[in-house]
Structures are given as structure tokens and as C-alpha cells.
């Protein structure tokens, strides 16, 4: 592979996750992102109470993302072979943590719209 293109990355991810699961994950990520943008525009402010709860979900999201990656690739922590594997696992954990925070904040905001002074 001399060049890394978007089509190459898509092919690799489809091979790792399977075509159906990969595109399901992409659609879910797009839907959560759109819902998050909708909530931010609708509320016109960040509710710090909901934001704190969302931050508490971050460690769980990080662990679940790493566990999901290891489950889907049939790997374990003993298969980590070098620094690049650690970097990839840390990247997956960070993305899982951020994704969990966005998901929790969005779900909270959709289920409980802001009151008069909910952001205090």
C-alpha cells in the first residue's frame, strides 16, 4: 500500500468489522452527532449538570470501546506487540470516552429538555 486513501481505509474497516457492522456503526455515529448538534442549537447553552454526568460516563465508554475492539478482532491484552499497538488502544479508548460523553449528554438533553435555569 503506497497511498492511504479513504477507499482503502473503508475497505480495511469493512474487512475488520464486516460490511454490515461497519456501516451500522457509521450510521449510528452520524445520527448521534446530528442529534448532539440539534441539542446544542435547540438549548443555546450547555447544561453543566448534564455535562458532568456525561463526563462520569467517559471511563465506561473507554473500557467498552477497547473491549469491543478486542472482541471484534479476537484479540486480548497479551497480543499487544509494541508501541503502535499501545497508541492504537489509547486512541480507541479516547474516542470511546468522547463518544460516550456525547451520547450520554445527547440522550439526557433529548429526554429532559432544559428548564428555566437548568444550566446552574
Alpha-carbon span 23 to 17, nearest angstrom: 9
- pLDDT tens digits along 82-102: 888 889 899 999 999 999 999
- The structural domain count of the chain equals 1
Alpha-carbon span 34 to 119, nearest angstrom: 22
- pLDDT tens digits along 64-86: 999 998 998 888 888 888 888 88
Alpha-carbon span 32 to 61, nearest angstrom: 15
Residue 20 lies in a domain: yes
Residue 15 lies in a domain: yes
- Residues in CB range of 110: below 8 A, 6 or more apart: 35, 39
- Residues in CB range of 22: below 8 A, 6 or more apart: 10, 13, 14, 16
Residue 94 lies in a domain: yes
pLDDT of residue 45: 84
Alpha-carbon span 104 to 118, nearest angstrom: 17
- pLDDT tens digits along 9-45: 899 889 888 899 999 999 999 999 999 999 999 988 8
Average pLDDT, the chain: 89
pLDDT of residue 4: 84
Confidence of residue 116 (pLDDT cuts 50, 70, 90): low
Alpha-carbon span 118 to 114, nearest angstrom: 6
Joined together, the cell numbers standing for residue 91 give 486512541
Residues spanned by the domain of 106: 6-111
Residue 117 lies in a domain: no
pLDDT of residue 117: 56
DSSP 11: H
- Residues in CB range of 10: below 8 A, 6 or more apart: 22
pLDDT of residue 2: 74
Residue 120 lies in a domain: no
- pLDDT tens digits along 44-59: 888 889 999 999 999 9
Residue 86 lies in a domain: yes
Residue 97 lies in a domain: yes
Q: Are 105 and 51 in contact (CB under 8 A)?
A: yes
Amino acid at each position: 500500500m503506497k497511498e492511504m486513501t479513504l477507499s482503502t481505509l473503508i475497505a480495511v474497516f469493512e474487512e475488520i468489522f464486516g460490511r454490515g457492522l461497519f456501516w451500522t456503526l457509521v450510521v449510528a455515529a452520524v445520527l448521534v452527532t446530528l442529534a448532539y448538534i440539534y441539542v446544542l442549537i435547540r438549548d443555546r447553552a450547555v447544561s453543566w449538570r448534564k455535562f458532568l454526568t456525561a463526563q462520569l460516563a467517559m471511563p465506561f465508554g473507554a473500557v467498552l470501546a477497547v473491549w469491543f475492539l478486542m472482541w471484534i478482532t479476537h484479540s486480548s491484552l497479551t497480543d499487544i506487540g509494541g508501541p503502535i499497538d499501545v497508541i492504537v488502544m489509547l486512541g480507541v479508548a479516547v474516542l470511546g470516552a468522547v463518544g460516550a460523553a456525547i451520547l450520554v449528554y445527547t440522550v439526557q438533553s433529548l429526554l429532559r429538555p432544559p428548564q428555566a435555569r437548568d444550566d446552574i
